[in-house]
């Protein structure tokens, strides 16, 4: 399994500082990312997502453990690895006084094969509606992000490593980004993206790793992660929530987080609908709406230690 992995991280730890000031950014992280998948790396700020990415790119060195990409050591063979990857940092900084086209040309020249890379960059810029003739300092944060995406993708890498890629992008461009990622995956290439935008991960990722305090809490397919046994149920009664119904719902073992507000009631249902429907029968139900849990709910469940099946 590990031999064919595009990214193979084993027991990776990163500790900043020493003694009483030591901070554990990553704690014995073990993770594999397979070819042709879009892997979402989820976690709040300070969870260790960017630290993981920086180790993979050999920008920082691990305290212990190892990381390899395409079977090559991330540190010893970083130049060979970087030939085959595209990277978008979370906080992209570029040369302010240069135009997008100049930045693209410079980076293309370091990568080699300038003509085809620049051509590809121009096509990507057109798709993202980015004017590359403008100087970097004149670009909005969203357009800088687009330029970063162009730079990361313009040489058709085998692996994309993207740190919070859609930060600052408007919804329309986010849609284009999703299309680009799906096309990229369809070519058999791999994406490793960190995000805290869970709907984005839900929309495009195949698997998700959830990181908290440098510790990988879970790695699951998005489908498995969302295949949880609870739903949110919204009920609207004609004459307010009857007291006996409210009491009955509160007493149901399958119901939790019950809230009543005027004619509206909201609750979390775990398990079958039948006991709920029988209890609701004591009142006059005008509307019933069932909402699948969002990844945010699942995310919170993991963070609270309940796990997805909670």
Nearer to another protein, 80 or 257 (CB): 80
Least distance to another protein, CB of residue 232, Å: 41
Nearer to another protein, 70 or 87 (CB): 87
Nearer to another protein, 54 or 207 (CB): 54
Least distance to another protein, CB of residue 57, Å: 5
CA-to-CA distance for 220 and 309, rounded, in angstroms?
A: 12
Q: CB atoms < 10 A from the CB of 284, how many?
A: 12
Extract the tokens encoding 117: 């890379």
Least distance to another protein, CB of residue 202, Å: 28
Nearer to another protein, 102 or 220 (CB): 102
Nearer to another protein, 144 or 207 (CB): 144
Least distance to another protein, CB of residue 287, Å: 51
Least distance to another protein, CB of residue 303, Å: 27
Report the interface residues with another protein, using CB under 8 A: 54, 57-61, 78-80, 82-83, 85, 87, 89, 91-95, 98, 106-107, 109-111, 151
Least distance to another protein, CB of residue 80, Å: 7
Nearer to another protein, 60 or 282 (CB): 60
């Amino acid at each position: 399994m590990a031999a064919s992995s595009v990214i193979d991280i084993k027991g990776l730890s990163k500790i900043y500082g020493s003694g009483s000031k030591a901070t554990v950014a990553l704690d014995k992280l073990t993770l594999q990312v397979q070819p042709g998948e879009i892997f979402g790396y989820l976690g709040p700020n300070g969870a260790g997502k960017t630290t993981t990415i920086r180790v993979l790119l050999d920008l920082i060195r691990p305290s212990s453990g190892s990381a390899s990409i395409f079977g090559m050591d991330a540190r010893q063979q970083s130049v060979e690895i970087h030939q085959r990857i595209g990277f978008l940092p979370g906080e992209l900084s570029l040369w302010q006084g240069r135009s997008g086209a100049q930045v693209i040309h410079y980076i293309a020249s370091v990568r080699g094969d300038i003509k085809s890379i620049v051509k590809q960059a121009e096509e990507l810029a057109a798709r993202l509606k980015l004017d590359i003739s403008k100087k970097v300092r004149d670009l909005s944060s969203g357009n800088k992000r687009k330029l970063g995406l162009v730079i990361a993708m313009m040489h058709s890498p085998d692996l994309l490593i993207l740190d919070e890629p859609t930060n600052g992008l408007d919804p329309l461009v986010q849609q284009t980004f999703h299309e680009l990622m799906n096309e990229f995956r369809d070519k058999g290439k791999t994406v490793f993206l960190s995000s805290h935008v869970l709907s984005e991960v839900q929309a495009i990722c195949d698997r998700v790793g959830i990181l908290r305090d440098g510790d990988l809490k879970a790695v699951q397919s998005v489908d498995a992660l969302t295949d949880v046994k609870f739903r949110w149920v919204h009920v609207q009664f004609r004459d307010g929530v009857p007291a006996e119904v409210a009491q009955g719902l509160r007493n149901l073992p399958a119901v939790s987080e019950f809230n009543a507000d005027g004619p509206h009631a909201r609750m979390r249902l775990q398990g079958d609908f039948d006991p709920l429907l029988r209890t609701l029968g004591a009142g006059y139900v005008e509307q019933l709406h069932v909402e699948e849990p969002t990844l945010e709910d699942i995310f919170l469940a993991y963070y609270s230690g309940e796990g997805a099946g909670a």
